[in-house]
Chain A
Amino acid sequence: MTTRLLRPLALSALLAASQLGLAANVYVSNEKDNTLSVIDSNTLQVVKTIAVGKRPRGITLSKDGKSLYICASDDNTVQVLDLASGKITHNLPSGEDPEQFALTPDGKTLYIANENNNVVTMIDLASRRVAGQVDVGVEPEGMAVSPDGRWAVNTSETTNMAHWIDTRSRQLVDSTLVDQRPRYARFSADGKQLWVSSEVGGTVSVIDVASRKRIHTIRFAITGIPKDRIQPVGIRLTRDGRYAFVPLGPANHVAVIDAKTFQPLKYLLVGRRVWHAEFSADEKQLWVTNGISNDVSLIDVSEQKVIKSIPVGRYPWGVVVSGS
């Protein structure tokens, strides 16, 4: 029996602003429900739920923005969803248990981390065939491709390294030691830095791409939360190089970091066990997935404030925003 008379100003301002822009769809993979939730970024409502393969985790948009690649981990395949029709058009070979992957900037090749057999599989999207495999460390997890397409980086959770794969020769050429259980890797927009989160180590390593050496280690501390609950996973860096956002897993907070000084500025309270994050195309919104509380939280990037949490399916994992 609640009638809303006034909406909080921040929300209405945001709505007004976003209504000027294009309505975007936010896609969330629900690991336990085998579905994808689609949220309208203007109305902030779930508008559709699409059934997909078993245990969907990593998701990413195709270069033309028309399809979505989905790691269906327990089906050992990468599915391709046509966004216009909402239908799975075909499956791609992926190697065993695909969890995270990265698309090359030319949109032609997917680099997939295969957690169970210690390899990275490359898929040629045009021919839908495996283009090659590279042996990496134990339990490959995070995957990133540099903005210039020169490097593909994989993190291995047990070896605790970031592995550098030369995309031209498709060979592993170097590895950089990071802290325990690296889960995720992300290049800065200018391609000069690689950020790697370590879930158990509780840190984010900033690596200089030219020298492939660690130049800084970011540590976190939140009043009232034990250190072992601070488990950084996903990473997003703003294009202007000013801020980084790092979901901290069971700490239920997202860290806002000054990307120039590497100092944490603020911790934003979100739902339980927050893992992955994605910006809207204009970088005004940041969406994060809260795995255990079964919802996603929306952060206003300029205000650095959580404005809403929206229930989705069970164990939301990956998130992408159309147009981003």
Chain B
Amino acid sequence: MFTILIVIIVLAFAFDLINGFHDAANSIATVVSTKVLRPFPAVLWAAFFNFLAYWIFDLKVANTVASTVNGSVISLQVILAGIIAAIIWNLLTWYLGIPSSSSHTLIGGFAGAAVAHTGSFAVINQAVILKTIGFIFLAPIIGMFIAYVISVIILWTCRKANPHHANKWFRRLQLVSSGAFSLGHGGSDSQKVIGIISAAMMVYIANLNAKGIAIPEWAHVSETIDAMGKQHLHVPAWIPISCYTAISLGTMMGGWRIVKTMGTKITKVTPVEGVAAETAGAITLFAVSQGLGVPVSTTHTIAGSIMGVGMTKRLSAVHWGVANNLLIAWVLTIPVSMIIAALVYLGITAMGI
């Protein structure tokens, strides 16, 4: 029991690390391509704000992830299967070059393993899954819309400005906006992992309770419901701190790789466009993950935001063909990771773990 818990926690950190590794490009692409920061400082800057999210964000997303399935019926094997499936799908999509969202993978894997465990779909918290699926479509559109509005506002307020002065100011502002975006990234992405670990801890605690064993201090995870009827997740500080550390480390590792491949994949943006896109991305991440507690993909959000900025110039800046491909990949993510998770679950239970 304890061994499985440790394995889950280690895998969850690995997942978080991969997440930061993958998404480092999103956080630093715009600051680096406008030459506001050189790649290495940019990576440090992003990692720092990833970690800062610990003090800023409520654990709302973590709570949502933890409540994807009905907590009373799951076992640690379910969570283990879910996380293995998520890692498999993430590596697979990375290998095949499909941009998928780690948040959707995690939720899909979690749900799929739970279905395999109970043999019925009733175990899934439909509200959570539906909300998440809804925001697969909504997050990029919200990002796009906000980015368009911000760009138009910037263009109108600065239309009489001297472009060189304005450029200088926007370069400075970009430090702020990219920081805000990394903050949103850390806050929303590492919480998914916090949610998974919390769910595992709660299962572990329930198990100890059933056996009448006292719960150790480090494992005090609980859910409370406040006067408003809202769920709050309480976790010991080591969980979020290590999750935020993992995502920051992942960002730094991924950043190093980007330093090597710089100049090949990064879209050309001006500081003004960078500020507009990052601010819109940050607002979307804050509003959706903090306001509504829904896990969203940072990749989709920033992609949508960059498109929104481009829309002030031309509609063809939106690559509809690419968007279509992405959409298919995104929609596939949840069902496919559910299936993988179910298979992994059946595999590990057959092995008697």
Q: Do A and B bind each other?
A: no
Chain A residues within CB distance 8 Å of chain B? none
**Chain B residues with a Cβ under 8 A of chain A:** none
